[in-house]
Structure 1
Amino acid sequence: MVADTEHAAPTSDHVWTLPNALSTLRLLGVPLFLYLLLGPQADGWAIVVLMVSGATDYLDGKLARVLNQTSKLGALLDPAADRLYVLSTLFAFVVRDVVPWWVAALIVGRDLVLLCTVPALRSRGLTVLPVHYLGKAATFCLLYAFPGLLIAQMDSWLATVLGPLAYALTVWGTAMYLWAGVLYLVQLRLVLRELPRVPWTWRP
Structure 2
Amino acid sequence: MLSCLRLLLVPVFLVLLAQGADAWALVVLSISSFTDWLDGFLARRWHQITRLGQLLDPAADRLYIFAALIGLAWRDLVPWWIVLVVVGRDVFLLALGIILANFGFGPLPVHQLGKVATFCLFYALPMIMLGQAFPQLEWWSQPVGWAFAIWGAFVYWWAGIIYAIETMRVIRLPRVLEGVSSDTLEG
- Compute the TM-score of the two structures, normalised by the length of structure 2: 0.86
1:123 aligns with 2:108: no
1:83 aligns with 2:75: no
Q: Cα distance, 1:175 vs. partner?
A: 0.9
1:173 aligns with 2:159: no
Q: Cα distance, 1:63 vs. partner?
A: 1.9
| 1:105 corresponds to | 84
Q: Cα distance, 1:156 vs. partner?
A: 3.3
Work out whether residues 142 and 173 of structure 1, in 8 Å CA contact, stay in contact via their aligned partners in 2: yes
Q: Which of these residues, 128, 138, 141, is aligned with residue 117 of structure 2? A: 138
Runs of 5+ unmatched residues, structure 2 = 176-187
Which residue type is aligned with residue 107 of structure 1?
Answer: V
| 1:37 corresponds to | 17
Structure 2: how far apart are the matches of 1:158 and 1:80? 31
Percent identical among aligned pairs is 48
Cα distance change, pair 90–125 in 1 and its aligned pair in 2 (3 A): same
Structure 2: how far apart are the matches of 1:127 and 1:34? 31
Structure 2: how far apart are the matches of 1:193 and 1:70? 30
Structure 1: how far apart are the matches of 2:174 and 2:9? 38
- Compute the TM-score of the two structures, normalised by the length of structure 1: 0.80
Which residue type is aligned with residue 141 of structure 2?
Answer: L
| 2:25 corresponds to | 46
Structure with the larger RCO, 1 or 2 (CA within 8 Å, 6+ apart): 1
Structure 1: how far apart are the matches of 2:38 and 2:20? 28
Structure 1: how far apart are the matches of 2:48 and 2:103? 25
Structure 1: how far apart are the matches of 2:103 and 2:54? 17
Structure 2: how far apart are the matches of 1:107 and 1:148? 17
**Cα shift readout 1:138-197 (whole Å, capped 9, x = no counterpart):** 11111111111112235633111222111111111111111111111122112212247x
Structure 1: how far apart are the matches of 2:135 and 2:23? 13
Higher Cα radius of gyration: 2
Cα distance change, pair 62–118 in 1 and its aligned pair in 2 (3 A): same
Size of the aligned set, in residue pairs, is 175
Structure 1: how far apart are the matches of 2:147 and 2:5? 29
| 1:8 corresponds to | none
Cα distance change, pair 126–152 in 1 and its aligned pair in 2 (3 A): same
1:69 aligns with 2:48: yes
Work out whether residues 124 and 195 of structure 1, in 8 Å CA contact, stay in contact via their aligned partners in 2: no
Q: Cα distance, 1:124 vs. partner?
A: 4.0
Structure 2: how far apart are the matches of 1:115 and 1:74? 19
Cα distance change, pair 44–154 in 1 and its aligned pair in 2 (3 A): closer
Identify the structure with the greater helix proportion. 2
Which runs of structure 1 show a deviation greater than 4 angstroms over 4 or more consecutive aligned residues?
none
